[in-house]
Amino acid sequence: MKKTFRTRTYEIHTDKLKNGHKVRFAFLTDLHGLIYGNNHQELYDAVLKHDPAAVLVAGDMIVNRKTETLQAAAVLLSRLSEKIPVFYTLGNHEYKMLLNPEVRQEYLNYERLLTSAGVCFLHNERISSNFCGTDFIFHGLELPIEYYHKPNSPKLSLTELEELLGTPFMSGIHILLAHNPKYGNTYLSWGADLVLSGHYHGGILRFGENHGLTCPQYLLLEDSVYSKPDFGGAVYVCAPPIRKKEDQDCLWKALADEEIQTVATDQCSFTLAQKALGKDDFTKIPGGLPGVQTRGTLLYTYGVKTGKITQEQMCKVLCENPAKLYGVYPNKGAITAGSDADIVVLDPAKESVISAATHAYNTDNNPFEGFKLECGIDKVFLRGNLAVEEGKLVKEKLGKYIARGKKQL
């Protein structure tokens, strides 16, 4: 099968850019030795088509122990560096290869080759470049390997980060290339204007805010679902894609540590026929899963009842934090005097099994088919009005527009 890729464009506004100029960067990470076209011609052309001022690389261009992937990455980056500056910080795969005596010399040869071609490696270092009259300071973070251990990697304090990188004392726009996105709180506290990370393979960009969310599929499903026969894996196509069991463990820990603020769903009720549109080209599979009906009951069954999170934490990520993000707390997201009486009554004694035959979505599939629920929604009140009882809508058109306010989280 021919390897394909997509390019994504993000526009970020900042008052630090002088004279209203625009500066464009290309960002590459986690290619893991994949090659797109002869000598990377397709990816090379795609990068240069956008005329970037520089290429920023956040690591894992190779695969640890697979020295043949060094050549694939070297071809692309050396070609790009002939045209534009390339700034490169290591990911965990490069770092592991550097530490491994069996392949260390091959990796060092790779760095020497790229350095001689003009690629700038940033080993907990920084470099300043001026584009369109504005100084950009690029920092490359190289974390010790224990910060990649799942699920019990250590916390990264601001003091520890400053010991690695120093402080961003120079005037200009500070761009931090940090392969591991887990420590976004610390990166932003340190003073980064823009953090570019990889590692999670969905791609994470943090700019000025540090609010995280996840969805039930990332907490409960594993990537083996993509191997289901008869194109059954198409049901689970979403972005980012579903990962492995150890990634679930990390997300549950992040919820427990309150590093993730909300649990949402993409709520895309595509039918099997619609998913089949991508049978000959996976890029045409409509992405997204249904999930809003069972978001709370799945979180209670597999989070609260298993001891991964508390009832209070479940209420925070489903109610309080979303209300604060939209600036409508405590009118919403709380049960207090003067608040809207928006109440969900959950019965922990109810049991059921999720099935496409009985769910409320207008679709013929359910990604959580067969999952047992050890709770059920008894009643739903909206501003004190009974809206749902025993799974049935009892009063319609209770919705009301509420203007969002200033974020409170």
Give the pLDDT mean for 91-120. Answer: 96
Strand 173-178 with 194-197, pairing: parallel
Question: Cα–Cα distance between 56 and 249 in angstroms, integer?
Answer: 30
pLDDT digits (tens, 9 = 90+) for 62-81: 999 899 999 999 999 999 99
pTM: predicted TM-score of the whole model, two decimal places: 0.59
What pLDDT is recorded for position 189?
Answer: 93
Peptide bond into 286 cis (omega under 30): no
What pLDDT is recorded for position 282?
Answer: 86
- Residue 101, pLDDT > 70, answer yes
Question: Cα–Cα distance between 62 and 100 in angstroms, integer?
Answer: 14
What is the phi/psi pair of residue 267, to 5°? 45, 70
Q: Which pLDDT band, with edges at 50, 70 and 90, does 206 fall under?
A: very low
**Both tokens assigned to 237:** 């196509």
Question: Cα–Cα distance between 55 and 173 in angstroms, integer?
Answer: 16
What pLDDT is recorded for position 207?
Answer: 40
pLDDT digits (tens, 9 = 90+) for 300-319: 999 999 999 999 999 999 99
What pLDDT is recorded for position 208?
Answer: 43
Partners of 162 in the beta sheet?
none
Q: Which pLDDT band, with edges at 50, 70 and 90, does 156 fall under?
A: very high
Structural domains of the chain, ranges and CATH numbers in brackets? 18-206 (3.60.21.10), 213-393 (3.20.20.140)
CA 12 to chain centre: 18
Partners of 116 in the beta sheet?
none
